[in-house]
Structure 1
Amino acid sequence: MTILRQKVDMLTHHYPPQELYKLLKKNIISKEYVEYQFMQKSKIPTMHFQQSLPRLPIPKLDLTCERYLAAQRPLLIDEAYNKTQYNVNQFKSNVGRQLQDMLKNYDKQNKHTSYISEFWFDSYLRDRKPIPINYNPVLVMHKDERPEYNDQLLRTANLIISSLRFYKSLHAGILEPEVFHLNQRKVIPRSLGQFAVTYLHHYHETDKDRLFNNPQGKHITVQYKGHFYAFRVLSDENDILPPDKILARLKFILEENIPKCEFPIGVLTTMERNKWATIRHELADNGNEHSLKLIDSALFNVCLDKEILGDDPYAIIRNFLHSDGENRWFDKSFSLQLSKDGQAAVNFEHAWGDGVAILRYVQDIYKDSREKPFVHPNTKPYDDDIANVIRLGTEFL
């Protein structure tokens, strides 16, 4: 097996962390290589605690009914509450017991997951309301305390590189496990099951959406002035491209002298879902399937805004939570968003997971981009061939 093949296998087939350290010790891969390619190098495998975590227990029927009545009591007058109490007692002694038994049997047959998992996905994917505001939250990062690193181009490049370092560490199994510190002596491991589906795409269909994953993804998409661009950030061997190349490709996008997109397709992701699903199929049937696939299969999306937001929290939240939708693609599992003055946020699609997973990602890339930036004010962009950046805006008909 060649050195290159060993490296590729290690990065793409979830080798245990010990394999990485063996390769390092044998000088098969350099320390400099590892320092750039990986955010963390945990000796405890990322998913080490996963099998030992307790499964979510099914609440007892009586307790569920008691909690429901307790929640209704402050909201109802006595007459309405008494009627509700009667109905709950009828439910508990009849159909409720049957449903409880069915739920227990379902849980026994699906020991690989939580009994609530399928219902969670179903509730998010079947709802037809638009996903921005109704479902997509946003997490806003603090600015870098060094003003020169808040330059839009500079900060975007560093956050992209940190995101890729997080991605590589996760898939190599060397991202540090997630633990909750109860006190100085006791820690509780948290589930990282949702991390496996962090880099997904929400694909709208009529009546029920689906989630799309591209484990071979090597490119990202970037939105600017409503236009879509795509460029590779990983090599054929799954190595993160050098910082100066990523910087050059972003610089080309920000400096391209083109007007605002006349028909920004991103705004369609703000629509009622059945309507958007219908329009999406029409777009694909009219020669845009390749462009849509590039967006769907990207590792993540980046939104570069022309707005200067300052420090007004209301302006920041309005812009990053929804804006006018023209420079957004709300279907992506997450989008890095950066304003002209370097404010940064992550807007994420909620169906694939909850805030715990995305919060860990945001905290890690924020810390990494500040403490270990690979692009600096004096970094010169690589003299890159602009053919490496594809503008998709002209392909949408």
Structure 2
Amino acid sequence: MNSFYISNHFIIMSTCINNLESGEVCRKMLGFVRRTTKTSSRICSVNSLCYSIWRNEAVSSSNPDDSDFIQESVVPTFHFQASLPRLPIPRLDDTKRRFLNAFEPIASSNEEYESATKAIDEFVANEGRRLHDELVELNQDNYSTPRRLDAYYTDRRSLVLTSNAAMVFEDDPRPEYNEQLVRAAILLRSSLRFMNSVRKNVLEPTMFHAHPENSNTPFFKNFVSCVPSKLSWYPAHFLKATPLDMSQFKQMFNSSRIPQLGRDDFVTYDQAKHIIVTSKGSLYVFDVIKNNGSLALTSDIYRQLALISAHNPPASVPPVSVLTSEERDTWTVARKQLKAANEDSLKLIESAILCLCLDDDDTDNLNDAMRNFLHGNGQNRWFDKSMQLVINKRGLAAIHFGMSWANGLTIWRYMDDVYRDSLQSSFMPDSKTIDSGNPAFRIEFKLDSELLGKIEVAKNRFEKRIADLSVRHVKCEKFGRNLIKAKKHHGDALSHLAMLAAYYNAFGCFPSAAGHCSTAGFKSGRTELVRSLTREMGAVIKALWSGDERQLGDLVKKASLKHVFLIREARRGEVCSYLLRNGLR
């Protein structure tokens, strides 16, 4: 027998089941929602509606070519968006306290600290209070994100090594699947399935489960899918599950950053069916969504990539892509000139689902590979694209993305789902796969002498810019997560401690240091700063370099606990308000 909880605003389905534990959870959730929403309610039986709450959780096809969806979740992708809580505005007095706590370790003297305290008191009592009240009156869902986006889009520096980042996929454990074109075709097919699941609202929402035995279950997912979106956050919160903001997933595909004087734009084109492929400095276009809406199969994708890879463009073709590595105002002017005779070509690039970069780099050196993923040679990238899937000759793969539109958590979710899905592919090309089919369309730009000169200048500036970057990696064989956990420390705290200690050893003073913490548990949440240099961190470092190691273990534990406390504060939005940070400048 099915029963429904009815109020003025919503209907929640519960089910009489044999599993007493799940039934008890259901009854508690109903009571929690009833108390939280404070609406009059009654329980009534509805025997005539034949609807079972027991449905499958997110389903993924065993073979990526069998379905156009990477997941088909019972809980819609954006189900929790309407009910996510707002990011709280920190109290001004709390901001003052946090600012002084962060400033104390870097103050060179008591006089400097007292001077800063006086300046803060004056600001809080006057302009700070007025600005704080104005911010409260704006009544925004998220007061921080619009200002963070402004900081990104008004930054006039090049995107290379500033606003763009890269994350690397693991190798496919099957060696034969790490051939460049095979891996590119499989990862692209999985990426399209991911995109399709987002567009059809069937990608499972990202959630943090404090008690997964209660909330990460088929029963809970089926239950919460029946709760109206405006109330769906409450039963999840009751079971200590935190739904995360999914708004960034709408900007993942078919998107580009558009340079403008003073402030860039970010544009998403929903209807485009094609991708861009960069190879040997040229750009190619082909459709990956058919006229009937279905996705191109892995074999179709591979065929096109094989034709592109085999094509050798004339050596005289200028690398227009390098213009996207310029400073933003410089690129704005050049793009305006380029658009005059190449508007359709620019539209194809900027509206593409994503950019696939087939690199000729075949290094097996991790340092060189990371440099390639971060910037490449500047000629085989379009740095304005929201996402670029980069694959070198050895099959090493990475995502190069702009941090203006997304945080690492969003990219991590995409990469995790796509990588797992790619491992299920059994595609391997044969003689029938490679034929003389119609090749992808190569974009040919019309360029005058002035634009050709700007391309040469951009190439030289790019080389100088990346020459300042040094990349080194260290592989720790004996020190890692297991040892840190065994000592009951926090990994993030120890990594910050190591960096601060190295800085102190090199320069004899402390820097103003901070790390990022996700606030994706709030509507439109991005990140907030965690001021990692605390009084406790400073005490550890001074003891370390003074040679006094008698109480070092206790000091490290205190520093780690303090860092964890600050992270938890930041996750709740309890941070040093940007008003005070910017006001004191």
TM beyond 0.5: yes
Residue 156 of structure 2 is matched in structure 1 by: 128
Structure 1 stretches lacking a partner, 5+ long: 1-30
1:357-376: CA deviation from partner (whole Å, max 9, x where unpaired) = 111111111111112x2632
Residue 39 of structure 1 is matched in structure 2 by: 70
**1:183 corresponds to which letter in structure 2?**
H
**Residue 257 of structure 1: CA displacement?**
3.0
Residue 124 of structure 2 is matched in structure 1 by: 92
Q: Tell me whether 1:391 sits opposite 2:422 in the alignment.
A: no
**Residue 266 of structure 1: CA displacement?**
1.3
Preserved contact between residue 189 and residue 297 of structure 2 (Cα < 8 Å): no
Report the 3-state secondary structure (helix = DSSP H, G, I; strand = E; otherwise coil) of the residue aligned with 1:137.
strand
Task: Kindly name which structure, 1 or 2, has the bigger radius of gyration based on alpha carbons.
Answer: 2
Q: Distance in 1 between matches of 2:292 and 2:316?
A: 35
Report the 3-state secondary structure (helix = DSSP H, G, I; strand = E; otherwise coil) of the residue aligned with 1:215.
coil
Preserved contact between residue 273 and residue 288 of structure 2 (Cα < 8 Å): yes
Q: Distance in 2 between matches of 1:260 and 1:80?
A: 61
Q: CA RMSD in A?
A: 2.0
Q: Distance in 2 between matches of 1:223 and 1:33?
A: 24
Q: Cα–Cα, structure 1 residues 255 and 32, in superposed 2: closer, same or farther, change >3 Å?
A: closer
From 404, 411, 422, the equivalent of 1:369 is: 422
Preserved contact between residue 194 and residue 203 of structure 2 (Cα < 8 Å): yes
Bigger mean CA deviation after superposition, 273-282 or 113-122: 113-122
Q: Cα–Cα, structure 1 residues 34 and 314, in superposed 2: closer, same or farther, change >3 Å?
A: closer
Q: Tell me whether 1:176 sits opposite 2:204 in the alignment.
A: yes
Residue 172 of structure 2 is matched in structure 1 by: 144
Q: Distance in 2 between matches of 1:348 and 1:51?
A: 27
Q: Tell me whether 1:49 sits opposite 2:80 in the alignment.
A: yes
**Residue 271 of structure 1: CA displacement?**
0.8
**Residue 45 of structure 1: CA displacement?**
0.9
1:328-370: CA deviation from partner (whole Å, max 9, x where unpaired) = 1110000000000100000001111211111111111111111
**1:130 corresponds to which letter in structure 2?**
S
Preserved contact between residue 291 and residue 396 of structure 1 (Cα < 8 Å): no
Residue 100 of structure 2 is matched in structure 1 by: 69
1:114-160: CA deviation from partner (whole Å, max 9, x where unpaired) = 11121121111111011111011110011101110001010000111
**2:380 corresponds to which letter in structure 1?**
N
1:199-240: CA deviation from partner (whole Å, max 9, x where unpaired) = 211000111100111100100000001100011000123210
Q: Distance in 1 between matches of 2:303 and 2:426?
A: 13
- The aligned runs of 1:335-354 (5 Å cut-off) are 335-354=388-407
Bigger mean CA deviation after superposition, 378-387 or 362-371: 378-387
Q: Cα–Cα, structure 1 residues 227 and 172, in superposed 2: closer, same or farther, change >3 Å?
A: same
**1:202 corresponds to which letter in structure 2?**
R
From 184, 187, 194, the equivalent of 2:248 is: 194
Preserved contact between residue 149 and residue 377 of structure 1 (Cα < 8 Å): no
Q: Cα–Cα, structure 1 residues 34 and 368, in superposed 2: closer, same or farther, change >3 Å?
A: closer
Residue 518 of structure 2 is matched in structure 1 by: none
From 322, 329, 333, the equivalent of 1:267 is: 322
Q: How many residues align?
A: 360
**Residue 242 of structure 1: CA displacement?**
2.5
Higher relative CO (Cα under 8 Å, sequence separation at least 6) belongs to: 1
**Residue 292 of structure 1: CA displacement?**
0.8
Structure 2 stretches lacking a partner, 5+ long: 1-61, 215-239, 449-585
Report the 3-state secondary structure (helix = DSSP H, G, I; strand = E; otherwise coil) of the residue aligned with 2:278.
strand
**1:175 corresponds to which letter in structure 2?**
L
Preserved contact between residue 225 and residue 260 of structure 1 (Cα < 8 Å): no
**Aligned sequence identity (%):** 37
